[in-house]
Amino acid sequence: MGKRGPKPVDIGLLNVWEFEFYKSFHHLRDGIPLPVRNLPPPSGFPPTELRALLTRLNSMSAAEYWRVQQQTTSEFGETVDLKHVPTDVEIDFAKRDLKEEIYWIERSSIPQKIHAQIQRREIWDNLVRARSYAAVRKACEQWSKLSDVRASGLIPYPEHVGANAGQFLTMKRNSRFPRSSYGDDSRIDYLARGMAGVLVGVSPMTAIERLRNLKHALGGPLWNTGESCCGCWRCHLRSSSEVSKTTQGWYENGVRAFIKIADNMKRQKS
């Protein structure tokens, strides 16, 4: 006979679903799954050069982008193992960085589709302000109809929120829900954690508290002994951002080197 009482919470699974909803809510609000690093605008480069860079970036796979980044970093004096085979995690973050670079250059140098940005922001605001089942489901229906959401296969996320509108509303009514006009990023954290709980089968508030208070140091539930680091997505993201600082001079010093290396690799491949 099984043990009575509440079952232990699967922190690993909560961590996975929190990341997926975090990306989905960011994608809804901003049109990109993860926040853009605070990089300087690509000033000092003629439009033709930026268009050439965008063309190369748009044609790259995540693995190709990772490899070119490694070689570019090496050329600027950093110690890099160019024979290293990227892990799945490194490829995932390279995919994130590739999308981010494209987004940042387009936002900095190409007129934005203002109407599309306003539309998705209105849907996000309506979802945050929703006070009824009907309002939540209407916002989710509009969310699922966004062309990039459909193209990216992200429709299940608005469907999950709409199907669990009751729990979604309950966690928004809680006194801990961030209501400050400056707390939009905190609302994404809160709602992503709560929806992770819904998908895992625990109370949204339990999930929010467990993930908010997650220990990231030695002895934490997701500590990776082999790599001596926390295995949660937030620590991976933070680590990736720290590494990327070595190439933040990219736009000022490394764009031409990147293009040259990318072209050489493409010729070698063909």
Mean residue pLDDT across the chain: 83
Residue 35, sorted as left (phi over 0), alpha (psi -120 to 50) or beta, turns out to be beta
Determine, yes or no, domain membership for 105. yes
How many helices (H) and strands (E) in the chain?
13, 2
For the chain, give the percent of residues with pLDDT over 90.
42
Task: Indicate the Cα dihedral angle 104, 106, 108, 110, nearest 10°.
Answer: -170
Domain annotation covers residue 4: no
Task: Classify residue 83 as exposed, middle or buried by CB count within 10 Å of its CB (0-12, 13-18, 19+).
Answer: exposed
Tell me if 6 is assigned to some domain.
Answer: no
Provide the residue range defining the domain that includes 134.
Answer: 11-34+44-269
Q: Is residue 238 a part of any domain in this protein?
A: yes
The mean pLDDT of 76-90, rounded to a whole number, is: 79
What's the pLDDT at 38? 47
Which position has the token pair 């954290």? Answer: 189
Is residue 1 predicted with pLDDT exceeding 80? no
Q: How many domains does the chain have?
A: 1
Tell whether 39 is covered by a domain: no
Return d(Cα 214, Cα 95) in angstroms, integer.
Answer: 26
Whether 234 is covered by a domain: the verdict is yes
Residue pointed to by tokens 């680590």? 239
In this structure, the number of other CB atoms found within 10 A of the CB of residue 180 comes to 8
pLDDT band at 21 (very low <50, low <70, confident <90, very high): very high
pLDDT, one tens digit per residue, over 144-192 is: 999 889 988 899 999 999 999 999 999 999 999 999 988 899 999 999 9
Q: Per-residue pLDDT averaged across 42-64, rounded?
A: 78
- Whether residue 250 is contained in a domain is answered as yes
5 domain residue, yes or no: no
